[in-house]
Amino acid sequence: MNVQKLSQKEITDLLQGKDDKWLFEEASKIKGNIFGKDVYIRGVVEFSNFCKEDCFYCGLRRSNGCLVRYRLAPLDIMRCAEVADSLKIKTLVLQSGEDYFYSKEQIAGLIQRVKSRYDIVVTLSIGERRNDELKFWFDVGAERYLLKVETFDEKLYEQLRPGKRLSDRIGKVMYLKELGYETGSGIIVGLPGQTVDSISRDIIKLSELNLEMIACGPFIPHPETPLGGYPPGDPLTTIRVVAILRILNPSANIPSTSALSSFGEEWRRAGLKAGANVVMPSLTPEKVKDLYSIYPGKNSGYDEIFDAVEGIKRLIREAGFIPSESKGYSKRRLDEKCS
Ligand code: SAH
Ligand code: SF4
């Protein structure tokens, strides 16, 4: 197998389990060469579950009238940053639904407060905001942005994200890169209507974007959505996606996602062994964490944040790796600067 350029046919075969032994060994070798045994930890603060969008797969969609909505006050968010700092977590991911309640200035204020008080990198994951906002937040100190394309299949994308256009989403991802963010994107694996062929095309398209971060988790049906009755994505296919992405994007930061771990913590370990080098525990306060129900069971695995983070560190060690206390800047970026 040619590691540099897997053909679409080879990717499709690998996705179907044609050569798991080779795939996982190769991905793990590549990861080891670049990251050693380090696994980066990113703390996620889910600060609002309000969303103006209506994605068919997501429990936060605006049409879900059963969900109690919340917004964290800036003080609560700062407490999460304090928790991150005390746990030596050096990246705070501020995530939410697409919630325009938080203005450009308010988000900027948050970024500045976190950065002025702690030695922490801020990642934003708050949807498709306006270009002037994205630029402003970068200028005030946000360094990373996560915006998953979800699927590059145009028809499927437009069915599952009503009123939205795939080209706009990809355009935003490219704009984030242009601004200088360490940019992350990814897909959901196992969406209804997705095929092995479309996943292999997604892998190629994601890899062509030269992303600093690539996040792919399995689809988990949420009963209060139009896709509630469909089967979940397959965790084994998901870790094959992770491994293929590692091979095609050696120095990208790739998480073993929380969605994967909802099939059992052994799947998070499997993700790490298949080439993932990042974990993203939730630091969302206990009083609201269950309401951030993108999919059922999200954030249900712990009662206490400290226990959750300790549990994740234990899991990293059990998988044979070391929880890193570094900021985990993109090695892809460093490689490009040095070349
Ligand atoms: N609103 C922002 C960020 C929060 S959603 C955005 O959409 O970009 C974060 C991620 O949750 C989405 O990118 C999507 O990939 C994932 N997600 C949503 N519903 C899901 C589901 N049912 N199963 C698995 N992942 C899901
Ligand atoms: Fe909103 Fe993001 Fe969920 Fe879509 S995936 S409904 S944009 S929170």
Please indicate whether residue 55, judged by its CB atom, sits closer than 6 Å to ligand 2. yes
Tell me the pTM: 0.97
Q: Number of C-alpha atoms within 13 angstroms, CB side, residue 178?
A: 10
Q: How far, in Å, from the CA of 294 to the mean position of ligand 1? A: 6
Q: Which ligand is nearest to the CA of 50?
A: 2
For residue 203, CA distances in Å to 135, 175, 200, 239, 246 come to 28, 20, 5, 13, 10
Nearest one of 98, 22, 27 to 244, comparing CA atoms? 27
Ligand 1 atom showing the smallest separation from residue 46 Cα: 4
Nearest one of 123, 135, 137, 211 to 170, comparing CA atoms? 211
Q: What is the DSSP letter of 277?
A: -
What fold does the segment set 8-338 form as a domain? TIM Barrel (3.20.20)
Look at residue 274 in the predicted model and tell me its pLDDT.
Answer: 98
Residue nearest to atom 2 of ligand 2 (CA): 97
Q: What is the pLDDT of residues 113-162, one digit of tens each?
A: 999 999 999 999 999 999 999 999 999 999 999 999 999 999 999 999 99
Q: What is the pLDDT of residues 78-126, one digit of tens each?
A: 999 999 999 999 999 999 999 999 999 999 999 999 999 999 999 999 9
Q: How far, in Å, from the CA of 339 to the mean position of ligand 1? A: 35
Q: How far, in Å, from the CA of 58 to the mean position of ligand 1? A: 6
CA distance 56 to 157: 10
Residue nearest to atom 8 of ligand 2 (CA): 97
User: For the chain, which residues make up each domain, given as ranges?
Assistant: 8-338
Q: Does residue 1 carry a pLDDT above 70?
A: no
Please choose from 188, 224, 284 the residue to mutate so as to test ligand 1's pocket, defined by most ligand atoms within 8 A of CB: 188
Q: Which ligand is nearest to the CA of 63?
A: 2
**Residue 284, phi then psi, degrees to nearest 5:** -65, 135
